[in-house]
Structure 1
Amino acid sequence: MSAFGRVLGAYDVRGLVDGELTADLCYALGIGAGEHFSSQGAQALVIGRDMRESGPALSRAFALGVQEAGLRVLDVGRCATDQLYFASGVHHLPGAMFTASHNPASYNGIKLCGPGAAGISRDTGLSAIAQAAEAHLGEPLPREEPAAEPLQIAGRYAETVRRLGAPGGLGRRLKVVIDAGNGMGGMLSGQVLGGDAGLEPLDLDLIGLYLEPDGTFPNHEANPLDPVNLEDLRAAVIEHGADIGLAFDGDADRCVVVDERGEPVTPSAIVGLVASREIARVRAAGENSPAVIHNAITSLAVPEAIREAGGRPVVSRVGHSLIKAAMREHGAVFGGEHSAHYYFRDFFCADSGMLAAMHVLAALSGQDGPLSELVAPFDRYAASGELNSVVADQAVVIAKLRAMAEAGEFGPARIEELDGVSVIGADGRWWFNVRASNTEPLLRLNVETPSRERTTALGERLLGLIRES
């Protein structure tokens, strides 16, 4: 699988346009995907793309490949990733979304899903698709346009997100600042919160930053997990006296929330808040102890909040295809990651930044207090956030930290290896995790303790050990 070695990740395809990800490669991948899904009984495939300038050419080549393999192509056009998942779910068809998520403009990629928005990883189809595509490398890319059938889903998607996220509607009027980072969040916000998809606009005062989709990202990268990319949103929330700020990544499947003070709300706190709402909803309908999925790097507050709400926490490895598989396996009502991905059973177990945002807006508008007070019960520990390092040998560094933990050099603790190495204090009040990234050449560190001082000290010590290697 050498031809795809540079672009095939753990659960998607991603690489530098032209240098790594080319139209010819996408044509071969389209044939491979068409053959793979055809063998499973599919007769069509849904395609969408974000605002990246390379999207039309790459998705065209892929669509031609899918058609060469004998499948029809349904084209959603420019959309957010969760809209592609929605189309896959509604029509029970496999799908391909052309996006590189939060990566810079020079990148693009493909997020593939099975019928019903089922997640696909290397072990559940991605490797098989790449292997099938290998046989078609070098075949000439046809000159004609694909015979794709347009598929309109914006109105149905917007109605569904409103119904699932705010089933009782919104309460008091809120002032909301949205920073789309020139990604798909601007279009999405207009459709769901405004009236661009044919619905009545919600009773909100909306203030927009960088809403126009532009794959060159002229203002800042569409990566809201990097604090520098939240500076404009934080300033605008304070300037306008807003109740809340919402920031989306490039393909708008992730949402980061800023409170009325301009302070970012940790994704773990949002997981706790939305999990509590979803647990309460299904328990009222008679479902006992509903499962909620969270990954190994969310705050200790997350499983605590899930249990307090009457739910059952289930831990999973990081990654959207893995979370989706765990959602289905356990019949989970909700799932959340530290990276601001939020998954919903009633949304085909797929992740949706806008649906999570709708839950937060509904919760905030349904009471009189500020957002900072609303999320405070779910923000009980001091987390470092993700600390990334480039190291020569990730496995050697991880092994060194594991050996030190076994020797008790960080204090009494147990070790878990569900996702990288997690060292968890014997008192259950602190932990750190170190793991290799699935999407970038980085070693990722997360630390959490009861106090900011302790988290900072432990984080600095661990970073020193990692970077001296």
Structure 2
Amino acid sequence: MRTRASVDAVIKAYDIRGVVGDGIDADFVRDTGAAFARLMRAEGATLVAVGHDMRDSSPELATAFAGGVAEQGLDVEMLGLTSTDELYYVSGAKDCPGAMFTASHNPAKYNGIKLCRAGARPVGQSSGLATIADDLVAGVPGFDGPAGTVTESDVLADYGAFLRSLVDLSGIRPLTVAVDAGNGMGGLTVPAVFEGLPVDIRPLYFELDGTFPNHEANPLEPANLRDLQQFVLDTGADIGLALDGDADRCFVIDEKGRPVSPSAVCAIVAERYLADRPGAAIIHNLITSRAVPEIIAENGGRAVRTRVGHSFIKATMAEENAVFGGEHSAHYYFTEFFNADSGLLAAMHVLAALGHQDSPMSEMMARYDRYAASGEINSRLENSTAQAERTEAVLEAFADRTESVDRLDGVTVSLADTPAWFNLRASNTEPLLRLNVEAPSAGEVDALVSEILAIIRA
């Protein structure tokens, strides 16, 4: 019998994730597949698509999950090696639920499951994960009917063709594009997506290797961008793209080897949508730069703010009938992609914008950088009590300078007499307290970061 504590340790706010062999194993995953199948069968599903990344543990776990699904009478389509957005494509195109085995950017010892309903609709804590957790604790009831079948398919070419149909790159000037796949799934999907397009792909770390021998597949950490920054300069590329382990996030480097903020990417994609759909709703999470809602408003759009996390963004996309959504972590969501996120689709929009004008990337993006930002800074605090105590200590220290405190997701503190703000929030996947700071100048950002970290890490 599983304990509530052991289940809650790996079932997070919007996915399932943990250390393989310590919370995540084949037995747990098989029962999770059965619990998910029960939930989806009740909603009328007959087929579940299952994909996995290149981690050593992923094939075994995906197979175990498929076994649990089939035991509950649902058929399974095994996609094999797949990016997360390729799994979402199948869920949307075939209108079936899906499960992606990946721990995204986490180190090699981790694995997990991203679940979605038919049409790539989200499964989060309040929309299914809590029910699955209850079944795992109580024991998943058996199914009296016949078992489902398990078949294999390869949809990589169809997925690539679908992305190419959404963004027209046929008329752009030729571009040299350096891509760091981080030994993740981008090494498989990038060649398929960009096949036949007027882009010269320069590959870096395209070999699939779930041990991540070159650097962690987490482009949010500046150290993991350094190889690509130098590679852009060495190859004379017009732009660099860095993908995370499951290739659903994309970070951008300009031709000078400098990172382009995900907020700036949000703004340029939002502008592209609003040029064709004036007045449309655009989603942004509360960590993106204040420049994002400003630019959305300037282009006649309606900015909608939401908390961090793909299940929350996807749900808000549907509720608001939004055409696009962006996060500070380089997740980008598209109405024509079933409200799901795709790093390569975001990259194609940026390439279209760059390729239809003559300016280099650095000049094109300069007008979107209105404020200085710290990026996400993590502090390891082993339990929620310590995280809450340090957060309250920061609030107390800034009480006399605070204009407002927003608790939509963690705490967002807007400072008085300045556009500066900061957010502190607990990670949903790791024992970390995450800090983001934005201010008019880099010096102000540095001063705020130093003061806040001194309290958090005391």
> 1:78 maps to which residue?
81
TM-score by length of 2: 0.95
Number of equivalenced pairs: 448
Correspondence list, 1:23-62, <5 A: 23-62=26-65
Asked if the contact 1:63/1:146 (under 8 Å) is kept, the reply is no
**Residue in structure 2 matching 1:450, options 440, 443, 446:** 440
Say if 2:6 and 2:23, in contact at 8 Å, map to a contact too.
no
1:382-426 C-alpha deviation (Å, 9 max, x unpaired): 000011112351111122222333x31xx2521111111111134
Matches within 5 A, 1:65-144: 65-136=68-139
**Contact 1:31–1:133 (Cα < 8 Å) also in 2:** no
2:390 counterpart (372, 393, 397): 397
Correspondence for 1:358: 348
Q: Distance in 1 between matches of 2:374 and 2:392?
A: 21
Aligned counterpart for 1:291 among listed residues 277, 281, 298: 281
Give the Cα–Cα distance (whole angstroms) in 1 for the partners of residues 287 and 19 of structure 2.
28
Aligned partner of 2:210 in structure 1 is 215
Q: Is the 8 A contact 1:24 1:138 kept in 2?
A: no
Q: Which residue of the other structure, out of 288, 296, 300, is the alignment partner of 1:306?
A: 296
Matched, 1:178 2:173: no
2:264 partner amino acid = A
Bigger mean CA deviation after superposition, 228-237 or 127-136: 127-136
Gaps of 5+ in 1: 140-144, 195-200, 284-288
Say whether the 8 Å CA contact 1:169–1:362 is kept in structure 2: no
Could you tell me how far apart the structure 2 residues matched to 1:169 and 1:26 are? 43
- Report the Cα offset of residue 6 of structure 1: 2.1
Q: Is the 8 A contact 1:28 1:134 kept in 2?
A: no
For 1:135 and 1:30, the matched residues in 2 are separated by 15
SS in 1 for 2:23: coil
Partner of 1:192: 193
Tell me what 1:263 maps to.
Answer: 258
Amino acid at match of 1:350: A
Give 1:152 shift. Answer: 3.2
Q: Is the 8 Å Cα contact of residues 372 and 441 (structure 2) preserved in structure 1?
A: yes
Structure 1 residue 3: Cα displacement = 3.6
SS in 1 for 2:112: strand
Match of 1:142 in 2: none
Structure 2 match to 1:286: none
Report the CA distance between 1:431 and its aligned residue: 0.5
Deviation at 1:76, TM superposition (A): 1.5
Mapped to 2, the partners of 1:118 and 1:402 lie a distance apart of 36
- Which stretches of structure 1, 4 residues or more, deviate above 6 A after TM superposition? none
1:101-155 CA-partner distances (Å, limit 9, x unpaired): 001111110000111101111111011012223344799xxxxx99422233222
2:373 & 2:48 partners in 1: Cα distance?
41
Letter in 2 for 1:227: P
Q: How does 1:409-428 map to 2 (within 5 A)?
A: 411-427=401-417
Contact 1:32 1:131 in 2 (8 A): no
Tell me which of 319, 322, 325 is aligned to 1:332. 322
| Deviation of the 1:4 alpha carbon | 1.2
Instruction: Give, in whole Å, the separation in 1 of the partners of 2:318 and 2:220.
Output: 27
Q: Please list the CA deviations of residues 213-236 of structure 1 after superposition, one character each: whole Å capped at 9, or x if unmatched.
A: 111111111111111111111111
Contact 1:46/1:75, CA 8 A, preserved across alignment: yes
Q: Does 1:273 align with 2:276?
A: no
Q: Distance in 1 between matches of 2:35 and 2:140?
A: 10
Aligned-pair Cα RMSD in Å = 1.7
- Between 127-136 and 145-154, the greater mean CA deviation after superposition: 145-154
- In structure 1, distance between residues paired with 2:358 and 2:26: 53
Q: Which runs of 5+ in 2 are unaligned?
A: none
CA contact (8 A) 2:7 2:136 kept: no
Distance 1:104 1:458 in 2: 30
Identity %: 52
Rounded to whole Å, the distance in 2 between the matches of 1:94 and 1:328 is 17
Residue 2 (structure 1) shift: 3.1
